A and B are shown apart, each in its own frame.
Chain A
C-alpha cells in the first residue's frame, strides 16, 4: 500500500519524465499501428470482398495471438539489431493479424442482399466495395483495429528491453527509479491502454453508419485491455 502511495507521489514528482516516456511510447505504438493498418486492412478488405482465403484470414489471428511477444522481439533483435525499428517490426507482426482477421470477417459478413441490391442498381464492383461494403463493415473492422491498438500499447513496454524506449524504461530501471517507479510506470501504462481503448471506442462509434448504431457493437471475443501482454 505504501508503495502505491509512493508511486502516486513519484508520478507527480516526475511528470516531465513520464510525459517524455509517454510520448516515446505513443510514437512507437503509433508507428506500429500505422504500418500494421497499411499492411493488414487492404488485404483483409480485399479477401473479404472476394469471399476468398477464409482459412488464411481467420487462422492468421489465431497464430498471431499465439506468438509470444518477447520471442518475436528477440528474433528481431537477432535479425535487425537493437532499437526502434526492431521493436516496431515486432509490434507490427503482433498487431497485424487481428486487424486482418477482423477486416476480412467484417467485409465478408456484409449482408449479401445489400451487395446484390447495389449491383442491381448498376454499381461497379469498386463502387459496391467503397459505398456499400466498406461502410457496413467499418464497425467490426474498427473493433479489430481497437483490439490491436490496445495490444500494441500494452506490449510496447517490452520495447524497453530492446532499446525501443517508452514507458517500459521506467519499469525495467528499478535500480534507478525504485519500486515506486515500477508501480508508477505500470499505472501510466494501464492508464494509456485504457485511454487508447476509449479513444478507439469513440472513433468506432463515429465511423458506425447511423443506421447500424445501437445494434450492439460486434467484436471478436478478446479481452479488452490486456496490459499483461507487456
Chain B
C-alpha cells in the first residue's frame, strides 16, 4: 500500500478548495481560519521576535549613547548625525545592501532595524533627561545624593514618560519596517505579503496586512498602558 504523500498542497488547494478560493475573492475567512496555525502564527511570532530584538538592542545602544551625551555634551551631535543619516536610508535599500555583508540572514535585517530605532530612542531619552526640572536636581543634591543616585532616583524616573514615548514610536516603526524585511527572506508577516505578490493570492494579502496592522495597534495600545502604569504621577498631574 502506498503511503499518502505528506506534502502540503500548493495554495490554493484545487481539489478541496472552496469556491471563494477558486475565484480568488478578496478575503476567504474559512481559508484564513484553517491555515492560521500553519501560515500565519509562525510569521506573527517571527515578526514579534524581529521587533523585540531590534527595539531591545536599539534601546541599549541609544540609552547608553544618551547617557554619554547627557554628561558629555560634545557626543550629542556626532551620534545624532549618524542616527539621522541611517534613518534616511530607504529600508528596501538598507536590507538589500546588508546582504553582501551579512547574507540573507536575520542579522542583516536586525542591523537595519536597530539602525532605524536609534534616532527616535536617542532623541527622546536625551530630551527626557534634559527636561528634568532644575529644582528637582538642586533639591536632590542638597539632600546629599551622589551623581549616580541623582541619575537613578531622580532624573531617570522623571525622564521615564519621554523614554517610554520613544520606545512606543520606535516599536510601531519597527513593526512597520519589519514587514519590509521579508524582502530578504527573513520571515515575519512580510513573508506572506511577498508570497502573495508572487502568487496574486488575495486572501493572503489581506490576512497578512490585517495581522500586521493589528499587531502594530495592539503594541501601541500596550505601550500606552505601560506608560500609564510606570508613571502614575503623570496622570495625576493632568487630572
Which residues of B sit under 8 angstroms from A186, Cβ to Cβ? 89-90, 93
Which residues of B sit under 8 angstroms from A168, Cβ to Cβ? 90, 92
Q: Within the complex, what minimum Cβ distance (angstroms) separates A182 from chain B? A: 5
Which residues of B sit under 8 angstroms from A229, Cβ to Cβ? 91, 173, 176-177
List 10 interface pairs A-B (beta carbons < 8 Å), by A numbering.
A68-B175, A74-B208, A76-B209, A78-B203, A78-B205, A161-B92, A168-B92, A186-B89, A190-B90, A228-B94
Q: Which of B88, B119, B211 contacts A193 (CB 8 A)?
A: B88
Which residues of B sit under 8 angstroms from A67, Cβ to Cβ? 176, 213, 216
Tell which of B12-20, B129-137, B189-197, B228-236 binds the partner. Answer: B189-197
Q: Within the complex, what minimum Cβ distance (angstroms) separates A137 from chain B? A: 25
Q: Within the complex, what minimum Cβ distance (angstroms) separates B212 from chain A? A: 4
In angstroms, Cα B94 to Cα A186, docked, is: 9
Q: Which of A3, A72, A158, A189 contacts B213 (CB 8 A)?
A: A72
Known: A70-B193, A74-B196. A223 touches B212 (CB 8 A): no
Q: How many A-B residue pairs have CB under 8 A?
A: 142
B172 at the interface (CB under 8 A from A): yes
From B27, B87, B175, B190, residue with most partner A Cβ within 10 Å: B87
B89 touches A190 (CB 8 A): yes
Q: Within the complex, what minimum Cβ distance (angstroms) separates B54 from chain A? A: 12
B90 touches A171 (CB 8 A): yes
A68 touches B216 (CB 8 A): yes
A75 touches B210 (CB 8 A): yes
Known: A171-B90, A186-B90, A228-B89. A70 touches B210 (CB 8 A): no
Interface hits, B142-183 → A, CB 8 Å: 169, 172-173, 175-177, 179-180, 183
In angstroms, Cα B196 to Cα A78, docked, is: 9
A228 touches B90 (CB 8 A): yes
A65 touches B116 (CB 8 A): no
In angstroms, Cα B93 to Cα A179, docked, is: 9
Which residues of A sit under 8 angstroms from B194, Cβ to Cβ? 161
Which residues of B sit under 8 angstroms from A85, Cβ to Cβ? none
Interface hits, A177-213 → B, CB 8 Å: 179, 182-183, 185-186, 189-190, 193
Known: A63-B217, A75-B209, A223-B87. A230 touches B197 (CB 8 A): no
B76 at the interface (CB under 8 A from A): no
A174 touches B96 (CB 8 A): yes
Which residues of B sit under 8 angstroms from A78, Cβ to Cβ? 26-27, 196, 202-206, 209
From A3, A74, A76, A185, residue with most partner B Cβ within 10 Å: A74
Q: Within the complex, what minimum Cβ distance (angstroms) separates A105 from chain B? A: 17
**CB-based nearest A residue for B86:** A228
Known: A74-B209, A75-B205, A77-B205. A66 touches B96 (CB 8 A): no
**CB-based nearest B residue for A172:** B92
Known: A171-B96, A229-B176. A75 touches B87 (CB 8 A): no
In angstroms, Cα B180 to Cα A73, docked, is: 11
